[in-house]
Chain A
Amino acid sequence: MSFMVTWWLRKYIALGKAGWALIMEYRAQVVIWMMSSLLMVIMLLVWLSISSDGAVNGYSSADFITYFMVGWIVRNLTAVWASWELDFNIREGRLSPMLLRPIHPIHNDVAVHWVEKLLRLGIVMPIAAIVLLLTPEVHLDFSPLNILIFLTSIIGAWLIVFLSDYLVGMLAFWTSQVGAFINGFFGIRLVLSGAIAPVAMFPSAVQEVLRWSPFPYMLNFSVDVAMGRLMPEALLTGLIVQWGWALFFICAAWAFWKIAVRSYSAVGA
């Protein structure tokens, strides 16, 4: 058992180091890609224009600032692009050598995605921290238990975002139009995960449906945890639903991959 752990650890350290070199090479690009998360700042400004006259659906101006700043961090931690590379590698036949390696190609993507988050955190965290420190009446729950739950929810959110996106990317085994699917799914995720508005702002019927879907657990749920907005009961239900979806996507990605690789016939050499 411990042998397996060190074996994987060594693999991930090696992949992570190579990934870090890659990310450093493209550091300017990473910063530019981060620009797309500025939409959350725009949405925050618009919400603030409404909340200046008083709380909106239970959210004061300080709540909106907290929501969007923490949400901005969560969004950057769950930024994904593996589907684009998967699509490219499948179309160009580059997947073939990757399949011959002793470990599954997804591990490389996971490692690169995580080291890239170090760079993003280094940029986003100081900005968000300064904004939050300058805002009076920020409510964040820093109890050790809540921090632990928050980190658990982040990992859950990351698994759901990364694997659902990876599943869309796998469509490239059958169609060459995956770019449109990836982009469309990105947009749907943007709106339904709470990146443009707290889900609490949606009509209640929509909220009721979304509660059982994977979308709020990609972003909104983690922010609610950080802000201590959830009663213990809702918190527990949320964690169960989130990790239920995470497990679902792990199984779905695994099963889908098995089927897909069988139908894969490389392009080119």
Chain B
Amino acid sequence: MRYVRLLGLFLKANLLVELEYRANFAAQSALGILWAGLTFVSVAVFFTQTDALGGWTYEQALIIVALFTIISGAVRFILEPNVIRIVEMVRTGAMDFVLTKPANSQFLATLRYAQYAGLADIAAGGAIIGFALHRMQYLPTPLAGIQFALMLISALAIVYSIWLVMAALSFWFVKIDSLSELFYALFDTARFPVTTYPGLVRLLLTFVLPVAFMTTFPAQAMLGLLDGTTLAVSLGLAALLVLFSAWLWQRAVLGYSSASS
């Protein structure tokens, strides 16, 4: 309960900061919407030449585009602003001030900051979902809706864990601030159905790098095409990664011995 209240305070404090820098907010929001449009184009261009991509129709693939945009937005909203600061704080030694505060260090380090412009991406993603569902004249059944919600939560948990692992690694390897580039390079594969890729890459994106769990499987859930096994695997994987990343964070923090002393 205390953490919920703290989270509310953080969000409010960040909102006040955001209101102070309105030009930045406007520019970043516009940028998010522009990139949503560019992602849309990068997938739509294939459908000027074909009717299906890896067995997905145009409208179905748009759900994946939307999820790609929503997850990018969530990363821009919460993860990126925090993880960039963690890397910086480890380098400068300012991490001391986080660790000495009377609350869980992972909570403080990963949820303290927010960049509200990320909400523009999320809104754009929502609009694309609406557009696609309208074109298909399809409304998810309540069961599909619940499955989709569970899949989206596990997708977000997986992405959160990956960013937490990157943050934890910065305790050991200080020069790591380009890791986010690496994430984005791999995440770029998530804008297409995983079935589009040739066998080996598809296996890699499903079992080694859990990219398929971020967009393809949640989109299947929304379309009512998901089987129970995938749902269970996805939830299990998310739980596992959350636990692993939290454990790694603890290890990292325990081994931390400031920068200046």
**A interface residue numbers (CB < 8 A to B):** 28-29, 32-33, 35-36, 38-39, 42-43, 45-50, 56-57, 175-177, 179-181, 183-184, 187-188, 190-191, 196-197, 201-203
Q: Which residues of A have CB within 8 Å of B189?
A: 42
Which residue of chain A has the shortest Cβ distance to B183 in the bound complex? A35
Q: Which residues of B have CB within 8 Å of A33?
A: 178, 181
Which residue of chain B has the shortest Cβ distance to A180 in the bound complex? B27
Q: Does B100 contact A (CB under 8 A)?
A: no
Contact mask for chain B residues 179-211; partner A; CB cutoff 8 A; 1 contact, 0 none: 101101100110010001110010000000000
| Contact in complex: B53, A49 (CB < 8 Å) | yes
| Contact in complex: A184, B178 (CB < 8 Å) | no
| Contact in complex: A201, B178 (CB < 8 Å) | no
Q: Does B34 contact A (CB under 8 A)?
A: yes
In the complex with contacts A191-B41, A191-B42, A49-B198 CB distance below 8 A: yes
Q: Is the interface of B mostly helix, strand, loop or mixed?
A: helix
| Contact in complex: B41, A50 (CB < 8 Å) | no
Which positions 29-49 of chain B face chain A at CB distance < 8 Å? Answer: 30-31, 34-35, 38, 41-42, 45-46, 48-49
Q: Which residues of B have CB within 8 Å of A190?
A: 38
Q: Which residues of A have CB within 8 Å of B34?
A: 184, 187-188
Counted as pairs of residues, one from A and one from B, with CB atoms less than 8 Å apart, the total is 82
Nearest-neighbour CB distance to chain B for A118, whole angstroms, equals 20
| Contact in complex: B45, A196 (CB < 8 Å) | yes
A180 vs B29: C-alpha distance when bound (angstroms): 9
| Contact in complex: A42, B38 (CB < 8 Å) | no
Interface size class of B (residues with CB under 8 A): 20 to 34
Nearest-neighbour CB distance to chain B for A104, whole angstroms, equals 29
A48 vs B45: C-alpha distance when bound (angstroms): 14
In the complex with contacts A43-B42, A48-B198, A36-B185 CB distance below 8 A: yes
In the complex with contacts A49-B196, A180-B28, A191-B46 CB distance below 8 A: no
| Contact in complex: A56, B49 (CB < 8 Å) | yes
| Contact in complex: B198, A203 (CB < 8 Å) | no
Q: Which residues of B have CB within 8 Å of A188?
A: 34, 38
Q: Jot down 28 A-B pairs with beta carbons below 8 A, ordered by A.
A: A29-B178, A32-B178, A32-B181, A35-B182, A38-B185, A39-B188, A45-B196, A45-B197, A45-B198, A46-B46, A46-B53, A46-B192, A46-B196, A46-B197, A50-B49, A57-B49, A176-B24, A179-B27, A184-B30, A187-B35, A190-B38, A196-B45, A197-B42, A197-B45, A201-B48, A201-B49, A202-B45, A202-B48
| Contact in complex: B188, A38 (CB < 8 Å) | yes
Q: Which residues of A have CB within 8 Å of B179?
A: 32
Q: Which residues of A have CB within 8 Å of B41?
A: 191
| Contact in complex: A32, B182 (CB < 8 Å) | yes
| Contact in complex: A183, B49 (CB < 8 Å) | no
A201 vs B41: C-alpha distance when bound (angstroms): 12
Q: Which residues of B have CB within 8 Å of A180?
A: 27-28, 30-31
Which residue of chain A has the shortest Cβ distance to B197 in the bound complex? A45
| Contact in complex: B178, A42 (CB < 8 Å) | no
Q: Does B23 contact A (CB under 8 A)?
A: yes
Q: Which residues of B have CB within 8 Å of A187?
A: 34-35, 38
Nearest-neighbour CB distance to chain A for B117, whole angstroms, equals 9
Contacting residue for B185 out of A39, A47, A56, A177, CB 8 A: A39
A188 vs B192: C-alpha distance when bound (angstroms): 19
